[in-house]
């Protein structure tokens, strides 16, 4: 093994607060941070005269409570979580779950089916087989027979979900669900939903690089966020003004290993059981909810630049791709992204 780079927690988005507005017209910006889902979160709230300022004193504790509940439902690292109970359940047994967990499972499966299996919440055993799972292990290239055997334990057809009553059932004992591609986005949505219920109209919620921007920032402008170049420079590739939109990025530029000159990505193609081999370094997706942006980013990351762009164009999705070319990169944008954010290309 010549080279190994591993970082399960990467922040592909850089947050910029750049404005030409008069500072005297700026409102006060309240910011607090914390930890959740094995990563960090950041909340920015703009002062609003219609909201009691005293509520900001307790807001962090209440946000932490919201995120703790999402973890209780969907974290595979918690032995008693709902998803862990489901993963340990026997086949053909309906397991009662919360409404939110059933919703995320259902939406994840829906996106998986729409993407023809590019997003697969049961792919965990294959990820583990290639050594990219939660347990540290040496990188050993599995044999074709090992891959085929493991693929028999995966697939969206091996799990069913009901919304009423909220419950799920595995069709074989070995099915293992992992919502790492959607739970973080859902967490963003739940925090945004909570803040709106408290009367906040202008805020930005970010968890581990996935985000939702509501209203305007403290300078009365759209929240300005940047997509970073997928390398170690920290350079901002593209800046976007967001308002009432969610944004999520997926890529393989941090987590991979190389052996005998071959690069093995942590992103597994569920239909082959092997790491992706295309040149897509990262894809950023914008949607009305972070759950959908998060899941679709993973699906398109699996598809690659050509199929992914075709998928996004047909579904009128706003996406921004950074594709490897030699030692550098080039950019692909969907028509919807150009319509929303690229004034030069629109002309």
pLDDT over threshold 90, residue 336: yes
pLDDT over threshold 80, residue 216: yes
pLDDT digits (tens, 9 = 90+) for 41-97: 999 999 776 666 667 778 999 999 999 999 999 999 999 999 999 999 999 999 999
What residue spans define the domains of the chain? 3-73+182-346, 75-170
pLDDT (0 to 100) of residue 254: 63
pLDDT over threshold 70, residue 256: no
pLDDT (0 to 100) of residue 251: 86
Q: Which of 15-19, 49-53, 212-216, 233-237 has the lowest mean pLDDT?
A: 15-19
Range 245-277 burial, b when 16+ CB lie within 10 A, else e: bbbbbbbbbbbbbeeeeeebbbbbbbeebbbbe
Range 75-86 burial, b when 16+ CB lie within 10 A, else e: bbeeeebbbbeb
Q: Which CATH superfamily is domain 75-170 in?
A: ApbE-like superfamily (1.10.3980.10)
Average pLDDT of the residues in 313-335: 94
Kindly report the three-state secondary structure assignment for every residue of the chain: CCEEECCCCCCCEEECCCCCCCHHHCCCEEEEEEEECCEEEEEEEECCCCCCCCHHHHHHHHHHHHHHHHHHHHCCCCCCCHHHHHHHCCCCCCEECCHHHHHHHHHHHHHHHHCCCCCCCCCHHHHHHCCCCCCCCCCCCCCHHHHHHHHCCCCHHHEEEEECCEEEEECCCCCCCCCCCCHHHHHHHHHHHHHHHCCCCCEEEEECCEEEEECCCCCCCCEEEEEECCCCCCCEEEEEEECCEEEEEEECCCCEEEECCEEEECCEECCCCEECCCCEEEEEEEECCHHHHHHHHHHHHHHCHHHHHHHHHHCCCEEEEEEEECCEEEEEECHHHHHHHCHHHHC
Q: Roughly how many angstroms between the first and final C-alpha of the chain, as a whole number?
A: 49
What pTM value is reported for the model?
0.89
* 286 compared with 28, residue with greater pLDDT: 286
pLDDT over threshold 80, residue 204: yes
pLDDT (0 to 100) of residue 16: 35
Per-residue pLDDT band for 147 (boundaries 50, 70, 90) equals very high
pLDDT (0 to 100) of residue 252: 73
Query: In CATH terms, are 3-73+182-346 and 75-170 the same topology?
Result: no
Q: Does the domain at residues 3-73+182-346 carry the CATH identifier 3.30.750.24?
A: no
pLDDT (0 to 100) of residue 21: 36
pLDDT (0 to 100) of residue 138: 63
pLDDT over threshold 80, residue 113: yes
Whether the Cβ atoms of residue 269 and residue 260 lie closer than 8 Å to each other: no
Tracing tokens 């990219």 back to the chain, one arrives at 132
pLDDT digits (tens, 9 = 90+) for 11-20: 333 333 333 3
pLDDT (0 to 100) of residue 244: 97
pLDDT (0 to 100) of residue 3: 31
Q: Which of 63-77, 86-100, 115-129, 227-241 has the lowest mean pLDDT?
A: 227-241
pLDDT (0 to 100) of residue 19: 33
pLDDT (0 to 100) of residue 146: 95
pLDDT digits (tens, 9 = 90+) for 157-169: 999 999 999 999 9
pLDDT (0 to 100) of residue 24: 46
For the chain, how many residues are written? Answer: 347
Q: What is the mean pLDDT of the chain?
A: 87
């Amino acid at each position: 093994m010549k080279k190994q780079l591993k970082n399960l927690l990467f922040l592909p988005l850089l947050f910029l607060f750049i404005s030409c507005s008069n500072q005297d017209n700026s409102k006060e910006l309240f910011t607090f941070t914390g930890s959740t889902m094995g990563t960090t979160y950041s909340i920015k709230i703009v002062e609003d005269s219609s909201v009691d300022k005293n509520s900001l004193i307790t807001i962090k504790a209440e946000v932490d409570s919201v995120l703790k509940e999402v973890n209780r439902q969907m974290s595979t690292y918690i032995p008693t979580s709902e998803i862990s109970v489901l993963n340990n359940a026997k086949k053909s047994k309906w397991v009662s779950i919360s409404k939110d967990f059933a919703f995320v499972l259902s939406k994840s499966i829906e996106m998986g089916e729409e993407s023809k299996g590019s997003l697969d919440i049961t792919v965990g055993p294959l990820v583990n087989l290639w050594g990219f799972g939660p347990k540290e292990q040496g990188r050993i290239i599995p044999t074709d027979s090992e891959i085929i055997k493991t693929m028999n334990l995966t697939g969206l057809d091996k799990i069913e979900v009901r919304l009423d009553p909220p419950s799920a059932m595995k069709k074989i004992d070995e099915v293992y669900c992992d919502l790492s591609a959607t739970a973080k986005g859902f967490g963003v949505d739940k925090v945004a939903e909570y803040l709106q219920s408290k009367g906040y109209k202008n805020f930005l919620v970010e968890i581990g690089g996935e985000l939702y921007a509501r209203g305007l920032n403290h300078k009365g402008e759209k929240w300005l966020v940047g997509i970073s170049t997928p390398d170690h420079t920290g350079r901002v590739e593209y800046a976007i003004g967001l308002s009432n939109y969610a944004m999520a990025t997926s890529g393989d530029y941090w987590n991979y290993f190389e052996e005998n000159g071959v690069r093995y990505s942590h992103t597994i193609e569920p239909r082959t059981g092997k790491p992706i081999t295309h040149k897509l370094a990262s894809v950023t997706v914008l949607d009305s909810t972070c759950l959908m942006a998060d899941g679709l980013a993973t699906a398109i990351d699996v598809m690659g630049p050509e199929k992914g762009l075709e998928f996004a164009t047909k579904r009128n999705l706003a996406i921004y791709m950074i594709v490897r070319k030699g030692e550098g990169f080039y950019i692909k944008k969907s028509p919807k992204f150009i319509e929303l954010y690229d004034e030069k290309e629109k002309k």
